[in-house]
A = this chain, B = another copy of it.
Amino acid sequence: MDAGGKPRKASARLDGQAQNRSLERGLEILKAFRPGADVLGNSELAEKTGIAKATVSRLTQTLVTAGLLVHDPRARAYRLGATVLSLALAVRLGNPVLQAALPLMRSASDRLRVNVGLATADHDEMVYLDSVRYNRKSALRTVVSGQRVPIELTSLGRAYLAAVSEDQRVAFLRRLQTRRPAKFAVLEQQIVEAIDCVKQNRYCAAAWQLEVVALSTPLVISGLPVYVVNMSLSTPEPLPKVVERLHAPLLSLRSSILDAMDQSLAETSPPL
Contacts and interface: CB of A to CB of B under 8 A. Distances in A.
Interface in A52-80: 58-59, 61-63, 65-68, 70, 72-75, 79-80
A144 B87 CA distance: 13
A261 B35 CA distance: 19
Interface of A: 15, 17-27, 30-31, 33-35, 38-39, 58-59, 61-63, 65-68, 70, 72-75, 79-95, 106-107, 110, 120, 122-123, 127-129, 138-139, 141-148, 222-225
A25 to B, nearest CB: 8
5 contacts: A19-B61, A22-B26, A23-B62, A33-B90, A86-B122
Contacts of A142: 143
A145 B72 contact: no
Given A23-B59, A88-B85, A74 B146 contact: no
B223 A74 contact: yes
A107 B23 contact: no
Given A80-B94, A94-B38, A143-B143, A86 B24 contact: no
Contacts of A27: 26, 62-63, 66, 68
Contacts of A93: 35, 38
Given A67-B123, A94-B39, A110-B139, A87 B84 contact: yes
A25 B65 CA distance: 12
A82 B86 contact: no
Nearest to A27: B66
Listed residue (A35, A73, A86, A139) with the most chain B CB atoms within 10 angstroms of its CB: A86
Contacts of A129: 82, 85
A4 to B, nearest CB: 28
Given A22-B23, A33-B90, A88-B88, A122 B62 contact: no
Contact of A122 (B82, B89, B92, B225): B82
